[in-house]
């Protein structure tokens, strides 16, 4: 029986190919808004991690809202995830929503999880095997989460942090959106920024969907925060803020968190 322990929050497609038959490996497709389609291709034995419908609080008026611990446990177990599983998550854009899945597991106390660097495009580029998409029909898992509340921030937390300047608030949206030069993609949502926030577009961390080398990431983060700063990452709806969290963790930052509602919530609640 071969089992693996993932030591870093990012793995390469070559690493995944080499470990694809490990007994405790679970590959999750964390592509946002993906629906089952048997004609679509996936990494062998991947399981669809439905952020929107299965791993979000759908009663919340804002998108992809942080789920409660019971919902997360039930949904994870339905995917056959166990307490000893080694989880690799990818998406179809390179690194986009997969980072949100990684961060959700972190927020629920689970660290044997990593993002696939370059995602499905990099897997295809390497000419590794794929299969038709299929639903998971295996056994229920025994995954038991432990909430780590310091990883997620909510409206009142961010409001206090903004006023009191207790945290560096770093916005992952594009410079055009952050500087109110282009409208928000969400219909009816006003342009703007959280007071006392700074901008680091998540795309600055990537080259064709692949994370830049560690030294380049460190340079980007050094321009907006010190290693020991308390940091809150924000974005449009809590997805790409997690890409910044991924880059920050790789760069040695420890005191990091994500604003769950991000600009969609802030721009709706604050005039």
Beta bridge partners of 168: 231
> 152: which residues sit within 8 A by CB, 6+ positions away?
66, 107, 257, 258, 260
d(CA 40, CA 123): 15
Active site residue: 235, 239, 241, 258, which one? 235
Active site residue 235: yes
- Number of C-alpha atoms within 13 angstroms, CB side, residue 141? 23
Could you count the other beta carbons within 10 Å of the beta carbon of residue 175?
14
d(CA 197, CA 171): 7
Residue 10 has which token pair?
Answer: 């990012």
For the chain, the residue count is: 271
Residue 171 has which token pair?
Answer: 């916005």
Find out whether 258 and 103 touch, Cβ atoms under 8 Å: yes
50-to-12, 33, 78, 84, 220 alpha-carbon distances in Å = 23, 7, 12, 21, 31
Could you count the other beta carbons within 10 Å of the beta carbon of residue 53?
10
- Any idea which residues carry the catalytic annotation? 235
């Amino acid at each position: 029986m071969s089992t693996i322990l993932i030591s870093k929050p990012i793995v390469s497609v070559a690493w995944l190919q080499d470990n694809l038959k490990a007994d405790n490996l679970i590959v999750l497709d964390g592509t946002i808004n993906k629906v089952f389609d048997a004609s679509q291709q996936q990494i062998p034995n991947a399981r669809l991690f439905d952020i929107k419908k299965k791993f979000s609080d759908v009663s919340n008026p804002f998108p992809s809202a942080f789920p409660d611990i019971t919902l997360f446990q039930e949904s994870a177990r339905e995917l056959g995830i166990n307490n000893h599983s080694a989880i690799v998550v990818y998406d179809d854009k390179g690194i986009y929503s997969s980072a949100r899945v990684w961060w959700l597991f972190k927020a629920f106390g689970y660290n044997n999880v990593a993002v696939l660097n370059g995602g499905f495009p990099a897997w295809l580029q390497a000419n590794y095997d794929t299969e038709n998409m299929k639903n998971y029909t295996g056994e229920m898992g025994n995954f038991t989460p432990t909430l780590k509340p310091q990883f997620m921030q909510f409206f009142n937390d961010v409001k206090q942090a903004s006023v009191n300047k207790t945290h560096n608030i770093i916005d992952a949206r594009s410079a055009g959106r952050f500087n109110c030069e282009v409208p928000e993609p969400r219909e009816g949502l006003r342009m703007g920024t959280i007071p006392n926030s700074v901008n680091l577009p998540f795309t600055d961390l990537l080259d064709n969907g692949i994370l830049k080398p560690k030294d380049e990431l460190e340079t980007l983060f050094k321009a907006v925060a010190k290693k020991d700063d308390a940091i809150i990452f924000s974005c449009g709806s809590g997805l790409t803020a997690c890409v910044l969290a991924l880059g920050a963790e790789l760069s040695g930052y420890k005191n990091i968190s994500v604003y769950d509602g991000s600009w969609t919530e802030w721009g709706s609640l604050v005039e």
